[in-house]
Amino acid sequence: MCSSVYHFIQITILFLFIGSGFEHAVLAQSSMINVFARQSTSLNGKWQVILDPTGTGNWRQVWQEKQPEKKTDFVEYSFDGGPVLNVPGDFNTQLPELTYMEGTVWYKKTFHHEIKKHKRLFLHFGAVNYLANIYLNGEPLGQHEGGFTPFQFEITDKVKPGQNRIVVKVDNHRFKDGLPGLGYDWFNYGGITRDVNLIETPVSYIEDYSIQLHKSSKGMIRGWVKLDGAQSVQPITVRIPELHIQYKTQSNDRGFAEIEFEAHPELWWPDHPKLYNVIIESETDTLADEIGFRTIDIRGPDIVLNGKPIFLKGVNLHEEMPLRAAKAFSKSDALVLLSWVKELGCNFVRLAHYPHNEYTVRMAEKMGLMVWSELPIYQHISFSAPGIEQKMDLMLREMVKRDRNRCGVVIWSLSNETYHFTPNRNQALITLTKQCRELDSTRLITHVINTQGYENHTFNVWDTLYNHCDFIALNEYLGWYVPWQGNPTETKWKLVCEDKPVLISEFGGEALYGNHEGPPDEAAHWNEEYQEQIYIDQIAMFENVPNLVGICPWLLVDYRSLGRMHPKYQSGWNRKGLLSDQGDKKKAWIVMKQYFDSVRNEY
């Protein structure tokens, strides 16, 4: 990053955090990889909180936890005697007064620590939505922006023997120059929404690695290992016991070692999601991971997995547990949601519209689901706002770093439904695409667009941003927002890039489960029959879509969205689910399942 950009970020930070103890704020460090395999102490559980809807806590300097000293002193805040909240978890669903909160909640946790020699200590957050300022023992550690990616702070030299206290200021305001921005069609769950851990590492530790099949090759594993710490030059070994592989190399003076060796693993397929135990060792550290091997490519108008054309039978999913109407965050949440995905007959899941938690990604991979992971660059982003491109770049790096060893992840989606007329949109997204290819050229990259033309039965996919994508991903709501022009089977298609594969990343319509009122052909009754007919018509139309490589209904299950205001049918829920918020199957589920069961992939 050039120095003027840094200068700009510093000024912005100065302005944002005046009075918060963050006048010289430090940005959070990027999270180390594979935190599940680390020596860690969980800080999940009950955290004390102060609710601060007016944002007064900054000038009261809540993080200092002042105490009265003289008889005449008093302090107008305290964590003691106040509410407690569960971490991980959104705050909105834990206290009635936080239901619609978009503002600040201060969280506090104490922990006991014994200093160990020759160890480093990191405070790690799976995600905090949206802005997080972190303080340790009254001193600011730094800040992180973005609600869906992990970050950490090294506290080796700051932690004290005995009791320590962490204060986190969580602010879930929507920001005009945020990612996402001001408007989005899902619930803005605030809080420390994913795990918090204290992670202990050796002084020089394995900070990152990439171990995957080389692009398009089934017999060559390539990658690298990166160490962090003073002892940068070390022998490095990568072992895959099941394949009798023991590859040895050495890191250079920057702690970096390239890896390349021949191997013939059983490939990862949706119906054979084989993962291998892979052990990465340096002289000072050892880490184990479960890694699968596959290739994913574009060949002409096809997406090919392990060299074979594959049809992606997918469904969209938000990170929400409908059964308790709250943010999803655990392994068991992931199991419930992904079991429904499997039951529907899918081999693919689109994790919309932001990076979901790591449990979900890992479990999807284990269950044989290809994963689409997405950045929250959604609709009306202020692409020309100062600093926004740096934020996009940072978030991209955080997303790719966490999951780059997950063979299940086959697609990076860098944006959803942005508009060609937004100033600087093309330039910003093309740059981001290039950055993504530099970071990871082994997966497919796309942008989702919904502004197509539809005239004289012809669906016109014209946005030139597609020239920069590996395949065309489009959202079309024919039969719902856009009425059919004649018989769905007569729809003709015009593609801006004629040779590229086409994936329909969203289609569908709303229905309230159990509602059969009104004529089946009138949308305004939200009945199941109308939604069912959309699915029947869409499936008929798919026959004529050129280069169709996959479809992804919007979406698996009804989800909360406060902009959905019809009191009888919606009451704050988007009802486009194939399942109700209680997991009941709507009629459209059956149509979709039959379709998926009828589409066979031959490999």
Residues making contact with ligand GCB (CB under 6 A): 185, 353, 416-417, 450, 475, 506, 554, 574, 576
Q: Closer CB to ligand GCB, residue 353 or residue 406?
A: 353
DSSP assignment of 537-579: HHHHHHTT-TTEEEE--S-SB-EE-TT---TTTTTTEE---SB
How many whole angstroms separate alpha carbon 450 and alpha carbon 96? 37
Q: How far apart are CB 533 and ligand GCB at their closest, in Å?
A: 17
* H-helix or E-strand spanning residue 506: strand 502-506
Q: Closer CB to ligand GCB, residue 52 or residue 463?
A: 463
How many whole angstroms separate alpha carbon 348 and alpha carbon 504? 13
Q: Closer CB to ligand GCB, residue 29 or residue 450?
A: 450
Q: How far apart are CB 472 and ligand GCB at their closest, in Å?
A: 15
Q: How far apart are CB 476 and ligand GCB at their closest, in Å?
A: 9
Q: Closer CB to ligand GCB, residue 125 or residue 187?
A: 187
Q: Which residue is nearest to ligand GCB (CB)?
A: 185
Strands 548-551 and 312-317: parallel
Q: What letter represents residue 431's amino acid? A: T
Q: How far apart are CB 526 and ligand GCB at their closest, in Å?
A: 13
Q: How far apart are CB 320 and ligand GCB at their closest, in Å?
A: 12
Q: Closer CB to ligand GCB, residue 217 or residue 571?
A: 571
Burial group, residue 249, by CB count within 10 angstroms (0-12, 13-18, 19+): middle
Hey, which residues does 449 pair with through a beta bridge?
474
Q: How far apart are CB 85 and ligand GCB at their closest, in Å?
A: 28
- Cβ pair 153, 28 in contact under 8 A: yes
Hey, which residues does 454 pair with through a beta bridge?
459
Helical H segments across 456-547, by residue range: 528-542
Q: How far apart are CB 511 and ligand GCB at their closest, in Å?
A: 12
Q: Closer CB to ligand GCB, residue 236 or residue 395?
A: 395
Q: Closer CB to ligand GCB, residue 401 or residue 560?
A: 560
Q: Closer CB to ligand GCB, residue 373 or residue 450?
A: 450
- Cβ pair 331, 363 in contact under 8 A: yes
Q: What residues have CB less than 8 Å from 341, skipping those under 6 apart?
A: 315, 317, 349, 364, 367, 369, 556
Q: How far apart are CB 33 and ligand GCB at their closest, in Å?
A: 30
A 10 A CB-CB count for 330 gives 17
